[in-house]
């Protein structure tokens, strides 16, 4: 990319505690599993040698574990941004998928089919999530002035960011696979009106390090 841009390394938190498997938790503050804590440290080691101007997380415990592992060796201050919190599931939060199906047959499947505008009672749509998350990404990019930062966030937040970069309809976000502790990078132009570029997507902690400025990983289309 010729125009000045800030590189944002986007990381998904690691595995949550088994008690929450099969549960709908969204923006609830749930803990990591023991393997998740280990995977967070492994994910942080992928960034050894990468100079980061800031590390920002949603502030929830499952993102803070990895954010802390990135932040402390670099002597960076903690930074939380509530706009990076996972999608608010409203009245569904805390229910198991099975319990929701008993109460509202087909409701979750219907949401997955049309997450762009569908909302659980009292909750958010994916359009809501993208609006707040991408505003945060833009502000962070401008504040970093062309440097590199890391953001530790959540599945639907990061799916919405990829859709933003690639110009994908949000109803297609469910097709984007982002395993626990995976990461990708976005180059966000500092010039107004230019779309971010997806630089790389690492699905496994063991196969890729953080993409460098000279990375030749797949790049998304750059559009005005």
Average pLDDT, the chain: 90
Low-confidence ranges of the chain (pLDDT < 50): 1, 203-208, 215-224
Instruction: Please report the pLDDT score of residue 192 as a whole number.
Output: 77
User: Which sign does the torsion angle of CA 144, 148, 153, 157 carry?
Assistant: positive
The whole-angstrom separation of Cα 100 and Cα 178 is 24
The whole-number pLDDT of residue 40 equals: 97
pLDDT of 174: 94
Domains of the chain: 5-202 (3.40.50.1240)
3-state secondary structure 153-208: ECHHHHHHHHHHHHCCCHHHHHHCCCCCCCEEEEEEECCCCCCCEEEEEECCCCCC
* Global pTM exceeds 0.75: yes
Q: 111 and 141 in contact (C-beta within 8 Å)? A: no
pLDDT digits (tens, 9 = 90+) for 158-193: 999 999 999 999 999 999 999 999 999 999 998 877
pLDDT of residue 193: 74
């Amino acid at each position: 990319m010729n125009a000045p841009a800030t590189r944002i390394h986007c990381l998904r938190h690691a595995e949550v505690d088994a008690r929450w498997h099969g549960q709908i938790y969204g923006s609830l503050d749930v803990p990591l599993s023991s393997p998740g804590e280990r995977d967070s440290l492994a994910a942080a080691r992928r960034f050894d040698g990468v100079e980061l101007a800031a590390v920002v997380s949603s502030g929830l415990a499952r993102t803070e574990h990895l954010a802390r592992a990135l932040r402390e060796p670099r002597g960076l201050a903690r930074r939380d941004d509530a706009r990076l919190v996972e999608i608010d599931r409203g009245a569904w939060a805390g229910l198991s998928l099975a319990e929701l199906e008993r109460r509202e047959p087909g409701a979750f499947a219907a949401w997955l089919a049309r997450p762009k505008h569908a909302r659980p009672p009292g909750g958010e749509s994916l359009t809501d999530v993208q609006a707040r998350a991408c505003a945060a990404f833009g502000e962070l990019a401008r504040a970093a002035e062309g440097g590199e930062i890391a953001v530790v966030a959540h599945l639907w937040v990061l799916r919405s960011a990829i859709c933003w970069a690639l110009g994908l309809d949000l109803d297609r976000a469910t097709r984007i696979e982002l395993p626990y502790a995976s990461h990708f990078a976005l180059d966000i132009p500092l010039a107004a009106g230019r779309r971010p570029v997806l630089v790389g997507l690492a699905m496994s902690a063991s196969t890729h390090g953080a993409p460098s400025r000279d990375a030749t990983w797949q790049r998304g289309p750059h559009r005005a």
